[in-house]
Structure formats: C-alpha cells, structure tokens
C-alpha cells in the first residue's frame, strides 16, 4: 500500500510567500495540497505550476469569499470532512495605503478584515477540527508590523497585532493537545504586494529566503517565527524604545 501523502491546506495560495512555501514542501516530498484563494484563475495558475514541479502530488483548488464567516465555515468543514489535515498555512492579506485608511472608513474596514479578522476566522474554523483530531500544525502569517503601532502603517499593523494576540491565545488553549500553532512574522519581503514600496528605495528580503525560514519553523513546530530571524532582535529594540524616543522617529 502506498504511503499516505501529507495533507497540506494553504489559505491565500496566490500569496508569493505561500507559493514559495508550497514549492519547498513539494521539493521535499510529494504531498496532497489544497490551495484556497479568492480568485480561481490566479489560484489555478499556482496549482498548474506546482503540478509541473511535482507530478506525484495531488493539487486541488477551492475558492471562497474570505470575508464571509459562513462561507469560511462551510469551506473548512468540507476540507476536513475529506481527510485529516496535517498542516494549515493561513497566508492571505494585502498592504493598504495608510492615508487612504485614514480618510476612507470603508478602506479601513477592508484592511482590518482581510489582514486580521479573516485569517482569525479561518484559524478558528480549523482549530476546532484539529483539536478534536488531536493532530496537526496550524501556521498563521502575521507581520512585524503588528509588534508596535507606527504612523506609517498602523491600520495594517493593528490587523496584524490582532493575529498576534489571537495566536497567543490559541497556543494557550491548545497547549495540552498535540496540535501546534505557529505564529509567523515576516519582515518586509520582496513580493508583488510590496513592489510600490521597493520602487521608493526600501530594502526587502528575498521571498524564497523568507519561505525557507517559514517552512523550517513549521517543521520544527516553533511557537514564533520571525522571517528572517534578524527581525526578532530588531523588533525587540523597537518595542523597547521609550515613547519619548519612539515619538521622534519618522517611521
């Protein structure tokens, strides 16, 4: 009897970081991967690329409204009903314009939903099933932006701060089970989402390098993964700055 393929679910599969994580997993071994996206055509393109890279793997594509709690529940229940899930990576998000969020409350609402509330809803939907099965790793991508509010991106940072507190609470809830929760905090990464910032001269980490750190952290069931690791020290310093120093900084 052939060995059971590891079952991986990726929410936000068109994310550049998520796609590179999938490539690394398939380079290591064939897997049964469910790619979940908001846009079917874009998600199918990711699946096609992965099928070429690993012909022995199983790739399927699902889509849903990421802001609809009922749709999220139905999607997750359907995925889990098929077979036990080994790894879930929740990776979706967007980088809003802070000035736009300040002037347009609808834009602010959307930024908070897609970057904070929606990932939490997906995680909560999977967590109950994984707790019942007493199996699996649930990885959630937050951001270093959630470590301290800054005037340049505090709407986005607030959403990512929500993910941090949620993941910490979920870890506490599941500490006596075999389910592992991995909170991932990438620093600025060279992806299509940050292309406009890169043009302004910002320094960004290579997406493939970030993905390697994430995949390694998930494999080791680390509670917290900064990607790259240098951001753990950088954000420790940022969080430790007294307000009278921090408030003089143009960041």
- CB contact at 8 A, 49 and 101: no
Q: Over its length of 251 residues, how does the chain's per-residue pLDDT go in tens digits?
A: 467 899 999 999 999 999 999 999 999 999 999 999 999 999 999 999 999 999 999 999 999 999 999 999 999 999 999 899 999 999 999 999 999 999 999 999 999 999 999 999 999 999 999 999 999 999 999 999 999 999 999 999 999 999 999 999 999 999 999 999 999 999 999 887 787 776 666 688 999 999 999 999 999 999 999 999 999 999 999 999 999 999 999 99
Closest to 126 in 3D by CA, of 172, 72, 166: 72
pTM of the full structure: 0.95
Secondary structure class of 123 (helix, strand, coil): helix
pLDDT at 191: 85
For residue 49, give both structure tokens: 């690329």
**Rounded CA gap, 146 and 144, in Å?**
5
H or E element in which residue 227 lies: strand 224-227
Q: In CATH terms, is domain 6-246 a member of 3.40.50.720?
A: yes
Q: Check if the beta carbon of residue 16 is closer than 8 Å to that of residue 45.
A: no
**Structure-token match 């909560």, residue found:** 124
- pLDDT in the model for residue 198: 64
Residue 199: predicted pLDDT: 64
């Amino acid at each position: 009897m052939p060995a059971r393929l590891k079952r991986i679910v990726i929410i936000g599969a068109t994310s550049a970081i998520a796609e590179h994580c999938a490539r690394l997993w398939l380079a290591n071994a064939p897997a049964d991967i469910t790619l979940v996206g908001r846009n079917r055509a874009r998600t199918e393109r990711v699946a096609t690329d992965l099928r070429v890279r690993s012909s022995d793997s199983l790739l399927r594509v699902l889509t849903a409204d990421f802001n609809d709690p009922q749709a999220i529940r139905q999607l997750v229940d359907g995925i889990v009903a098929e077979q036990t899930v080994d790894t879930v990576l929740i990776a979706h998000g967007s980088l809003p314009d802070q000035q736009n969020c300040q002037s347009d409350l609808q834009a602010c609402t959307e930024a908070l939903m897609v970057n904070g509330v929606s990932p939490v809803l997906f995680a909560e939907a999977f967590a109950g099933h994984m707790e019942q099965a007493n199996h699996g790793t649930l990885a959630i991508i937050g951001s270093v932006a959630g470590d301290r509010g800054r005037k340049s991106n505090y709407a986005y940072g607030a959403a990512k701060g929500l993910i941090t507190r949620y993941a910490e609470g979920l870890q506490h809830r599941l500490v006596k089970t075999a389910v592992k929760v991995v909170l991932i905090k990438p620093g600025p990464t060279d992806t299509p989402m940050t292309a406009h910032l890169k043009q302004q001269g910002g320094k960004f980490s290579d997406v493939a390098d970030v993905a390697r750190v994430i995949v390694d952290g998930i494999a080791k069931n680390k509670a917290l993964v900064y990607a790259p690791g240098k951001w753990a020290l950088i954000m420790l310093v940022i969080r430790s700055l007294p307000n009278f120093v921090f408030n003089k900084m143009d960041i």
